[in-house]
Amino acid sequence: MKIVVCVNHVPDTETKVKVGSDGKTVDRQGINYILNPYDEFAVEEALRMKEKHGGEVIAMSLGGDAHKETLRKVLAMGADKAVLLKDDTMRDSMGVARTLSDALKEMSPDVIWVGKQSIDYDNAAMAGLIAEMLNIPSVSVVVKEEIRDGKIVCEREIEGGHEIVESKLPAVLAAQKGLNEPRYPSLKGIMAAKSKPIEERIAAKAEIAVEVLQMRKPEPKKPGKVVGSDVGAVRELVRLLHEEAKVV
Amino acid sequence: MGKKILTFAEQRDNAFKKSAFEVTKLGRTLADQSGAELVALVLGGSVEKIASELGGYGATRVLTVEDQRLERYSTTAYAAVVAEVARSEGADTVLIPASALGKDLAPRVAVKLSAGLAVDCTALRFENGGFVATRPIYAGKALIEVRVKSAAAVFTLRPNVFTAGVADGKKASVEKAPVTLSDDHFGARVLEVQVQTGRPDVTEAEIIVSGGRGLKSPDNFHLIESLADVLGAAVGSSRAVVDAGWRPHDEQVGQTGKTVSPSLYIACGISGAVQHLAGMSSSKVIVAINKDKDAPIFQVADYGIAGDVFDILPALTDEFKKLLGK
């Protein structure tokens, strides 16, 4: 079984976002980058699939040299090899998907894993975009999966419940938190990753269909009212919510 | 852009979701602003009888695609139908709710129509012959304004942000859209829906009561649940308690959980890590209950009690019971 897992390199969740001098992108200074958290679940599940069904796991990322750090981590977790599609220019989600799907077409994997969303631009669109470009099915927000009779049966999260989805293979699957508990790279894994190959390919520039006009911080909230510090304040709080804020 | 707007009206079990009305109403506003036509689309197993309801929210013409196989969601079949209808109608703008279904559907439709895609929009306006969308990124730590440059556009709209208002009693004309579906369209399909009964989902709830590490143990979450149940609210959680295994991950609010915009968000025993604040600070009214008066959560709260959750929560539950006559 050939499994490709697409990963992204994103600012960590502690990042306090500042708008860059162009007014359109984030100021990268001082930001600590990590493997996108949802992609960690995708990598873990890809590795578990390989452990169960055999085959190989290939990690792929689109971006600049900095993405190698993230690919190294995925190799240390246990992926067999990595591909870096090199291009550091700004693109929209469609442009990212186009480059990934072009590379995937050549690789013809059985399963493609992505994270549910990147925690930077929050598009949550990659599984559908890639799958449609490859003309194959997809399942997003996956919290459980099992291959049965050449098909994959997934549990996906929806509002107030789960859907059990059956899909043909090949398919693109998007990992949600809860799918598994990602492993930490072992010391042996980290050592082994150093000798695993990262193949670099120059990615073509993409056309931008969705142009960012400006980036801004949300309006800061006005200071609130601390009603009190003990149960004596409860009645007043309820009154304020009912009469002033009118939300109850 | 702006010739014809197609709105996708989501239903579950042959009843419209609230987002169907929100999307339709916004479609009407944008159509009026841009001089575009508006057409609404609903698909499902048995939807013709509900379709005209959309007239109450500004749709004059509703297209239906009824097929037993569409009773449950199929990413491949739904995308094929929506794209085919958009094409045959000549619609260049498609509005879809940013729900679990809509987020899954929209990217596929966008690829099929060679359209630009802007997801999870919280504002959308017509300007200089095109639409400009505002969307939160980094779970709300920043906002971007985007313009779609391609000839066609697909937008998904965050639920609970656009107001549908009250139905004005008008009925829309309903037509069947001529779409042929073959079994090949069902490469992925839902076999079964497992609905958790009881409380609403955090992404759809009007009120959320959230608990954090200040609750000290998973056994104390009954305090959160009791308050939530009196208010008909969803239960939310911080990442700390989800990672500790106290609560299920589908309750998690924040950058690695869900981004929410309820009318009222009550944060209990949550200090307010950056990544949590990002996910909930667009709530309309925020209440913080935390014994540390310097906790960051108070910086985004509209009202707060700097007290012990174990004292405040039971009293608050009782007080709401009295108010609501429960």
pLDDT tens, B131-173? Answer: 999 999 999 999 999 999 999 999 999 998 999 999 999 999 9
* Alpha-carbon gap, residue A215 to A153, rounded angstroms: 40
B81 SS3 class: helix
CA distance A195 to chain B (A): 32
Q: Do A247 and B148 count as a contact with CB atoms less than 8 A apart?
A: no
Q: Which pLDDT tens digits describe chain B residue by residue (326 residues)?
A: 669 999 999 999 999 999 999 999 999 999 999 999 999 999 999 999 999 999 999 999 999 999 999 999 999 999 999 999 999 999 999 999 999 999 999 999 999 999 999 999 999 999 988 999 999 999 999 999 999 999 999 999 999 899 999 999 999 999 999 999 999 999 999 999 999 878 999 999 999 999 999 999 999 999 999 999 999 999 999 999 999 999 999 999 999 999 999 999 999 999 999 999 999 998 999 999 999 999 999 999 999 999 999 999 999 999 999 999 98
Among A8, A10, A13, pick the best mutation site for testing chain B contact (most B Cβ within 10 A). Answer: A13
CA distance A84 to chain B (A): 24
B4-185 and B207-324: identical CATH topology: yes
Which has the closest alpha carbon to B269: A215, B246, B40?
B246
Residues 179-218 in B contacting A (C-alpha not used; CB under 8 Å): 187-196, 200-201, 203-204, 207
Contact residues on chain A for B250, CB-CB shorter than 8 A: 157, 178
**What one-letter code names the amino acid at B100?**
A
Which has the closest alpha carbon to A61: A116, A95, A99?
A99
Structural contact between residues B265 and B283, judged by C-beta atoms closer than 8 angstroms: yes
User: What pLDDT sits at residue A212?
Assistant: 97
CATH number of B4-185: 3.40.50.620
Q: What is the pLDDT of residues A2-14, one digit of tens each?
A: 999 999 999 999 9
B220 SS3 class: helix
| Mean pLDDT for all residues in chain A | 96
* Alpha-carbon gap, residue B93 to B97, rounded angstroms: 13
Structural contact between residues B138 and B278, judged by C-beta atoms closer than 8 angstroms: yes
What is the DSSP secondary structure assignment for residue A240, as one 8-state letter?
I
Query: Which helix H or strand E contains B115, and what residues bound it?
Result: none
Structural contact between residues A87 and A102, judged by C-beta atoms closer than 8 angstroms: no
Residue B61 Cα to chain centre, angstroms: 24
CA angle A215, B1, A137 (to 5 degrees): 80
* Residue length of chain B: 326
Contact residues on chain A for B143, CB-CB shorter than 8 A: 215-218
Phi and psi based region of residue B245 (left: phi greater than 0; alpha: psi -120 to 50; beta: remaining): left
Structural contact between residues A131 and A171, judged by C-beta atoms closer than 8 angstroms: yes
* Bridge partners, B190 (sequence order): A165
CB burial of residue B263 (10 Å; 0-12, 13-18, 19+): middle
Contact residues on chain B for A173, CB-CB shorter than 8 A: none
**What one-letter code names the amino acid at B284?**
K
Nearest CB partner across the interface for A208, out of B149, B301, B323: B149
User: What pLDDT sits at residue B230?
Assistant: 97
B79 SS3 class: helix
Which has the closest alpha carbon to B273: B305, B242, B301, B238?
B238
CA distance A138 to chain B (A): 7
* Alpha-carbon gap, residue B35 to B47, rounded angstroms: 29
CA distance B49 to chain A (A): 24
Q: How many CB pairs below 8 A link A and B? A: 286
CATH 3.40.640.10 fits B207-324, yes or no: no
Q: What is the pLDDT of residues A75-102, one digit of tens each?
A: 999 999 999 999 999 899 999 999 999 9
* Residues with Cβ within 8 Å of residue B5, at least 6 apart in sequence: B27, B30, B31, B34, B36, B37, B38, B39, B91, B93, B94, B95
User: What pLDDT sits at residue B2?
Assistant: 65
Contact residues on chain B for A138, CB-CB shorter than 8 A: 75, 104, 108, 188
* Alpha-carbon gap, residue B234 to B19, rounded angstroms: 18
Q: Which residue of B has its CA nearest to A123?
A: B119
Domains of chain A plus CATH, in order, are: 2-202 (3.40.50.620)
* Residues with Cβ within 8 Å of residue B73, at least 6 apart in sequence: A163, B101, B104, B189, B190
Q: Do B307 and A237 count as a contact with CB atoms less than 8 A apart?
A: no
Structural contact between residues A41 and A77, judged by C-beta atoms closer than 8 angstroms: no
- ipTM for the complex shown: 0.96
**Backbone phi and psi for residue A232, each to the nearest 5 degrees, phi listed first:** -60, -20
Q: What is the pLDDT of residues A143-193, one digit of tens each?
A: 999 999 999 999 999 999 999 999 999 999 999 999 999 999 999 999 999
* Bridge partners, A86 (sequence order): A63, A202
Contact residues on chain A for B324, CB-CB shorter than 8 A: 248
What is the DSSP secondary structure assignment for residue B77, as one 8-state letter?
H
Alpha helices in B244-296 (DSSP H): 274-280
* Bridge partners, A213 (sequence order): none
User: What pLDDT sits at residue A223?
Assistant: 81
* Alpha-carbon gap, residue A119 to A117, rounded angstroms: 6
Domain boundaries, chain B: 4-185, 207-324
Among B96, B104, B121, B194, pick the best mutation site for testing chain A contact (most A Cβ within 10 A). Answer: B104
User: What pLDDT sits at residue B232?
Assistant: 97
Structural contact between residues B236 and B256, judged by C-beta atoms closer than 8 angstroms: no
Structure tokens at B272: 């307010």
Q: Do A139 and B144 count as a contact with CB atoms less than 8 A apart?
A: no
Q: Alpha carbon of A228 to those of A141, A239, B289, B294: distances in Å?
A: 41, 13, 10, 14
